[in-house]
């Protein structure tokens, strides 16, 4: 085919490394520096339609569901519209209430995931409006939706989604920006985010350049039978996605938790054999996050902290993974990139088939 892994050991690594370029593709022609907004022609909604949206419900499976949670956070922060994500595989089974002023968003790399497709059909059958964030042009979900945003990530072959997931996040950022700017998001904030989005591809490149430092960390994690990924608010969906990647390709038990919930249960499991990967961006929650790290360190739990350069871990014994700072709302995606590399190198260390993990399919098209 025209798309092969070339000299790369795997499609997954190739797709990880493509991200600075593919991230540009989803943003191209959609950012407006002058008015600090985004233009998404494919949505087929004018300013009036956008202003009429009272709630956003995001539907996806697997990684698309987790990035949907990141997207819901962006929409709530930038547009101040209540938003949440739900596993599309559950949605139709609970006879969901479909509201005319809710915007439903289906998110899918392949556009063929049967659970997501049936969720879209459920929305439309009950008279709701559903738009798509889809990578594959002309796919079943894209055709079933009322309009949407194509992700332009190019073909993704590895089962574990990387570049498509990054573009899903960016697609949500564009949608949140446009929804925000027809409401109360100021032009100054709009411009701040446009500039942040324009900086992102180069910052993704910076994270990828730290790959060699992540290899040793990944090898340590690969030796553990069980590990935690923790984060809160913006960081929690990142932790879920990080744990998902890790378990999918390394077959280690990886569990995501809100850092704030640690003391309500999982702290009982922390010991020298159970490492924790903690997401600690520099933001209003840094101090509280550091408090939880002290609790883990006091129980000799090995720590990997994905953080920003200005965060001082004090005396906490941890391996630090530093990502560049952007606007805080966009932190989730830069925090996600090193987790892709950690999962990749752990699986590589264990000698596993990275592109085709056991028991999993790239897209699940039958019920």
Sheet holding 303-307, edge to edge: 253-258, 226-231, 276-280, 303-307, 319-322
**With binding defined as CB under 6 A, does residue 335 bind ligand G6P?**
no
Among 62, 180, 235, 301, binds ligand G6P (CB under 6 A): 62
Which two three-digit tokens encode residue 338? 């090193």
Contact between 74 and ligand G6P per CB under 6 A: no
319 strand-pairing partners:
304
Query: Of 57, 58, 56, 61, nearest to 115 (Cα)?
Result: 61
CB 233 to ligand G6P: min, Å: 23
- Shortest Å, Cβ 152 to ligand G6P: 15
Residue 63 is a binding residue for ligand G6P (CB under 6 A): yes
Does 171 sit near ligand G6P (CB under 6 A)?
no
Q: Give 298 or 360: the residue with its C-beta nearer to ligand G6P.
A: 360
Q: Does 364 bind ligand G6P (CB under 6 A)?
A: yes
| From 12, 16, 133, 159, residue interacting with ligand G6P (rule: CB under 6 A) | 159
CA–CA separation, 166 vs 204, rounded Å? 10
> Out of 12, 23, 58, 64, which residue is the one contacting ligand G6P (CB under 6 A)?
64
Sites for ligand G6P among residues 95-134 (CB under 6 A): 108-110, 113, 116
* Residue 64 burial class via C-beta count within 10 angstroms: exposed 0-12, middle 13-18, buried 19 and up: buried
Residues 6+ apart with CB under 8 A from 92: 118, 119, 121, 122
Q: Smaller CB distance to ligand G6P: residue 109 or 348? A: 109
Q: Which lies closer to ligand G6P via its Cβ, residue 217 or residue 333?
A: 333
Single out the residue of 125, 151, 216, 119 nearest to residue 18, CA to CA. 151
State how far the alpha carbon of 225 is from the alpha carbons of 246, 273, 292, in Å.
12, 8, 22
Cβ distance to ligand G6P smaller for residue 282 or 363: 363
Binding residues for ligand G6P (CB under 6 A)? 61-64, 108-110, 113, 116, 159-161, 360, 362-364
């Amino acid at each position: 085919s025209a798309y092969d892994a070339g000299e790369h050991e795997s499609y997954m690594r190739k797709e990880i490394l493509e991200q600075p370029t593919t991230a540009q593709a989803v943003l191209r022609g959609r950012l407006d520096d002058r008015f600090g907004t985004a233009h998404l022609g494919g949505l087929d909604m004018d300013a009036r339609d956008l202003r009429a949206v009272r709630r956003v419900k995001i539907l996806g499976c697997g990684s698309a569901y987790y990035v949907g949670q990141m997207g819901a956070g962006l929409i709530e922060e930038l547009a101040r519209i209540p938003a949440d994500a739900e596993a599309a595989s559950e949605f139709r089974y609970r006879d969901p209430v479909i509201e005319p002023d809710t915007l439903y968003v289906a998110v899918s790399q392949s556009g063929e995931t049967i659970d997501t497709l049936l969720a879209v059909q459920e929305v439309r059958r009950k008279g709701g409006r559903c738009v798509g964030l889809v990578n594959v042009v002309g796919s079943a979900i894209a055709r079933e939706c009322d309009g949407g945003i194509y992700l332009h990530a190019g073909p993704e072959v590895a089962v574990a989604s990387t570049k498509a997931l990054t573009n899903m996040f960016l697609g949500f950022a564009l949608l949140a920006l446009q929804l925000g700017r027809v409401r109360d998001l100021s032009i100054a904030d709009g411009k701040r985010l446009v500039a942040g989005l324009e900086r992102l591809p180069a910052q993704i490149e910076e994270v990828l350049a730290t790959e060699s430092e992540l290899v040793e960390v990944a090898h340590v994690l690969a030796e553990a039978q069980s590990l935690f990924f923790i984060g809160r608010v913006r960081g929690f969906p990142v932790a879920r996605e990080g744990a998902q990647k890790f378990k999918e390709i390394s077959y280690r038990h990886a569990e995501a938790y809100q850092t704030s919930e640690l003391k309500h249960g999982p702290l009982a499991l922390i010991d020298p054999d159970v490492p924790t990967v903690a997401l600690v961006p520099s933001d209003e929650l840094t101090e509280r996050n550091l408090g939880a790290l002290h609790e883990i360190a006091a129980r000799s739990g090995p720590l990997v902290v994905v953080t920003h350069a200005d965060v001082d871990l004090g005396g906490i014994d941890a391996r630090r993974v530093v990502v560049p700072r952007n606007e805080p709302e966009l932190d989730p995606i830069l925090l996600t990139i090193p987790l892709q590399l950690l999962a990749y190198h752990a699986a590589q260390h264990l000698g596993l088939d990275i592109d085709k993990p056991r028991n999993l399919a790239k897209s699940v098209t039958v019920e």
